[in-house]
């Protein structure tokens, strides 16, 4: 049991030391970590994307694309941007109407793009 306790103590010290490093410079470390995850995910998708899609059925690929497109459209259509009041800015109603019109025009233009890009 002594060996197990020393291993647990050692791992706990590593966790505490890592937490203190994160606390001291968390912004830079988290930014670097996020950037590394994005780089690894992009590389993996580039290398493995085509073979994985080749193994999938056509219906599965269509469902996946529909899910991704629906998620993106949901984020765009239902996004709300907080703005600070300014004497030179348009009213909130005008801004919301302009955003919604822009979204409708953007979706319309998206459907005009040929499907074989």
Q: Would you write out the chain's pLDDT as a tens digit for each of its 117 residues?
A: 577 778 778 887 877 777 666 666 666 667 778 888 999 999 998 888 888 878 888 888 888 888 888 888 778 777 665 555 555 555 666 667 777 788 788 778 777 776 654
- In this structure, the answer to whether residues 62 and 117 fall within a common structural domain is yes
State the angle between helix axes of 26-55 and 2-24 in degrees (0 to 180), rounded to the nearest 10.
110
pLDDT at position 40: 92
Measured over all CA atoms, what is the biggest interatomic distance in the chain, rounded to whole angstroms?
71
Q: Does the pTM exceed 0.75?
A: no
The DSSP 8-state label assigned to residue 78 in this structure reads T
- In this structure, the answer to whether residues 76 and 28 fall within a common structural domain is no
H or E stretch at 13? helix 2-24
pLDDT at position 92: 60
- In this structure, the answer to whether residues 19 and 47 fall within a common structural domain is yes
Domain coverage including residue 11: 1-55
Q: Is residue 99 part of a domain?
A: yes
pLDDT at position 24: 61
Q: Is residue 86 part of a domain?
A: no
**Residue 85 to residue 92: CA distance in whole angstroms:** 9
- In this structure, the answer to whether residues 66 and 116 fall within a common structural domain is yes
Report whether 103 contacts 76 (CB < 8 A): yes
């Amino acid at each position: 049991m002594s060996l197990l306790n020393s291993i647990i103590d050692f791992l706990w010290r590593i966790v505490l030391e890592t937490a203190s490093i994160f606390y001291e410079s968390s912004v830079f470390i988290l930014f670097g970590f996020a950037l590394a995850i994005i780089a690894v995910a992009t590389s993996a998708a580039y290398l493995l994307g085509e073979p994985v899609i080749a193994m999938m059925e056509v219906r599965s690929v269509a469902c996946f694309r529909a899910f991704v497109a629906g998620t993106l459209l949901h984020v765009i259509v239902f996004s709300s941007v907080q703005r600070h009041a300014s004497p030179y800015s348009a009213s909130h109603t005008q801004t919301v109407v302009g955003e919604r019109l822009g979204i409708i025009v953007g979706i319309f233009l998206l459907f005009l793009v040929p499907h074989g890009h």
